[in-house]
């Protein structure tokens, strides 16, 4: 009888401790998931901004090209106009790349912070 009682108490204690760890694990997982969702939102927003920058640059370059005199194949005759249009596209691409890099940096920082918070939940001091 004593063995059964002792075993039951040990099992109950382990079960209670197991539940507490499970709760902390769930809280840590929720923290990680939340930070991943926020990071994804940042990535999506910056990707959208980068796409807009590229499209705007392409439209400006095409507008520049269309203002010049064209040959029979539709190519700009003046090389300076083509160079200017190419420069507009290059500048737009650089701007878009910078937006993407900054967005990825922010997203990574959000995820890193979330991971640190989750680790603190799992291993309180």
- pLDDT per position as a tens digit, 56-106: 999 999 998 887 666 556 665 678 888 999 999 999 999 999 999 999 999
76 beta partners: 70
Counted residue by residue, the chain has a size of 125
Domain regions of the chain by residue span = 2-122
Query: Hey, what are 28's tokens?
Result: 């840590």
Q: What is the pTM of this model?
A: 0.71
- Token pair, residue 42, equals 């940042």
- Round to whole Å and give the CA distance between 75 and 7: 88
How many C-beta atoms surround the C-beta of residue 4 within 10 A?
8
> Which of 120, 69, 60 is CA-nearest to residue 93?
60
């Amino acid at each position: 009888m004593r063995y059964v009682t002792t075993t039951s108490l040990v099992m109950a204690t382990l079960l209670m401790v197991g539940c507490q760890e499970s709760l902390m694990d769930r809280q840590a997982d929720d923290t990680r998931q939340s930070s991943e969702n926020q990071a994804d939102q940042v990535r999506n927003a910056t990707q959208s901004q980068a796409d807009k920058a590229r499209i705007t640059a392409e439209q400006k370059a095409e507008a520049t090209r269309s203002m010049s005199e064209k040959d029979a194949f539709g190519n700009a005759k003046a090389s300076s106009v083509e160079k200017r249009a190419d420069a507009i596209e290059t500048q737009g691409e650089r701007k878009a790349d910078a937006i993407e890099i900054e967005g990825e940096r922010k997203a990574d920082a959000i995820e890193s912070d979330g991971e640190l918070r989750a680790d603190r939940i799992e291993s309180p001091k």
